[in-house]
Chain A
């Protein structure tokens, strides 16, 4: 039973560039959430997708956008990268919009130089 898979594992980009991160949810899960985890801090919620629509959004600028596909996989796009966007980006999947626990992937480590 495949868990949450994310790609790539590591990425180095330059300020001003754009990046796309990818996530496949755990089998049987249909909801995908994205979190940003800066070094030494807890994860911060970016947004959540369910039924191919953004359902909730955290306090992140419009430079952060996403998409969910019919097979429930998801992408996170970040435009006009800033040094402060350097972080571990975690994808989590769950079932529906209820109270099911989130299952996390191993994340994508993004470094912006």
Chain B
């Protein structure tokens, strides 16, 4: 059975701190790893990673995939209160684009 595990479950930091969120996966016929941010309801797409070792960046957020060790990390530098959310990691397999999600990491950024 496909599985995605995220750690830590929750994290409390202060504005300006840097955080690293972890995601490990076991997915048959793995194709890609996706990160989403969920503030209230709709998860919003952040990154999709398909190749190992290639960092993707968007502003203060970056992510990288290690297909040998089956994990990914999401880094957020200079955190702001607006980064407070649940961050979801998901993996897709080659058949279709069904996603297997992890349980999420709840990030709280205090002023």
Contacts and interface: CB of A to CB of B under 8 A. Distances in A.
Contact of A42 (B95, B96, B103): B103
Contacts of B101: 35, 42-44
B32 interface: yes
A20 to B, nearest CB: 19
A104 B99 contact: no
Q: Which of B42, B48, B50, B97 has the most CB of A within 10 A?
A: B97
Interface stretch (A60-68, A75-83, A95-103): A95-103
Interface in A39-63: 40-45, 48, 55-56, 58
Main secondary structure of the interface of B (DSSP, over half): strand
A50 to B, nearest CB: 8
A90 B98 contact: no
Interface in B71-111: 88, 90, 92, 95-104
A43 B96 CA distance: 17
Contacts of A105: 42
Contacts of A31: 97
Report the contact-size class of chain A (Cβ under 8 Å from the partner). 20 to 34
Given A48-B98, A90-B41, A104-B36, 19 more contacts: A33-B98, A35-B99, A41-B104, A42-B88, A42-B101, A43-B43, A43-B88, A43-B101, A45-B99, A56-B95, A56-B96, A88-B41, A99-B31, A101-B48, A103-B45, A104-B42, A104-B43, A106-B40, A106-B41
Interface of B: 4, 6, 31-32, 34, 36, 40-45, 48, 50, 88, 90, 92, 95-104
